[in-house]
Structure 1
């Protein structure tokens, strides 16, 4: 079996699992359902995945990689770190509105998945943001003593909050409101005190 065939079959199983989760929900979907949807035998599914939990993890990883590719594209529209982080925040709030994870999982399942994997998700997001923050240290956009890991985690926590938590005071459905919210607090907190300049 060629590497391409392995990759293709694995991707087919993942795509079929997403389709099953969308139609039946996470809890009701079985490995047999996924095998039928992929038009492969159950034993073929088990050649690639130990169990359903491993399939769910692979689906989450696949979705995460796609999410970060798209967020990197959105951030690429910005020149400065501030612009890039504003684009990231707007992207995340739009994703919440348009991706609608409820198509795949019900609200309780989404909450459980985010909570169960919160530490891993925060680490991944912080690692994604680290190169942007490190580059901003080199250009002087942020203070030289900024702890990139801590700043990345702080902003990752902001993104998770924007994605998952409605606001009592902000209209986070409005891209301009989200942009101004981030501009007002995020990067200015990473920069040198402007009054001291």
Structure 2
């Protein structure tokens, strides 16, 4: 009996999130009510609130699911000793595809994640911390393999690469980077520049 109850809970949650994915993308976040979500999911409005306190929490649930998928994707497809650049490209392109499956929904999701409303600020902070730790662990492993300097702040380094990703995502939304391969190529260039540094390399003769 408890197994059936758990299965029903999973089905209800999935139905709510699928409704949010469709309606936020079609109508926009502000123009979608909890009643709309309930009707599309085929459940009662009160049932929605038994899973999520607000529409903002529904969006953040997508972020949590995405983070779980990122962990699994990295473990499944990228060797642990792969170069850091390869791992970063794989992770951010996976996130890009996740966010842009529905253009309108992706814009709403990123806005709530970057500029959370007061009601979801604490939850946003928790997800952000999990995201940062995901990268800090990866950066620490890269340091141990000699792929990354040891005299850098890893949290700020995470912010640096995420900012480059957001720049590319914004360029895709504006049309400056029209396709997925354009986004990947731009990220690869920026990641290589970040990892190698932008200052001119000193000559081997040590001349000034």
TM-score by length of 1: 0.69
**What residue in structure 1 maps to residue 135 of structure 2?**
129
The superposition leaves residues 58-101 of structure 1 with CA deviations (integer Å, 9 ceiling, x where unpaired) of 34444x337635873797278211222244455566667x5353
Q: Which one of the candidate residues 72, 75, 89 is aligned to 2:74?
A: 72
Greater Cα offset, 65-74 or 76-85? 65-74
Q: Which one of the candidate residues 195, 200, 208 is aligned to 1:187?
A: 195
- Judged with a 3 Å threshold, the aligned counterparts in structure 2 of structure 1 residues 176 and 49 are, in CA distance, closer, same or farther, namely closer
The 3-state SS of whatever aligns with 1:72 is: helix
Aligned 8 A contact 1:126 1:156 in 2: no
**What residue in structure 2 maps to residue 22 of structure 1?**
25
CA distance, structure 1, for counterparts of residue 186 and residue 35 of structure 2: 46
Q: Structure 2 stretches of 5 or more lacking a match?
A: none
**What residue in structure 1 maps to residue 167 of structure 2?**
161
The 3-state SS of whatever aligns with 1:158 is: helix
**What residue in structure 1 maps to residue 112 of structure 2?**
113
Shift in Å, 1:177? 4.5
Shift in Å, 1:158? 1.8
Q: Structure 1 stretches of 5 or more lacking a match?
A: none
Q: What root-mean-square deviation, in Å, do the aligned CA atoms of Structure 1 and Structure 2 show? A: 3.7
Aligned 8 A contact 1:16 1:37 in 2: yes
**What residue in structure 2 maps to residue 36 of structure 1?**
39
TM-score by length of 2: 0.66
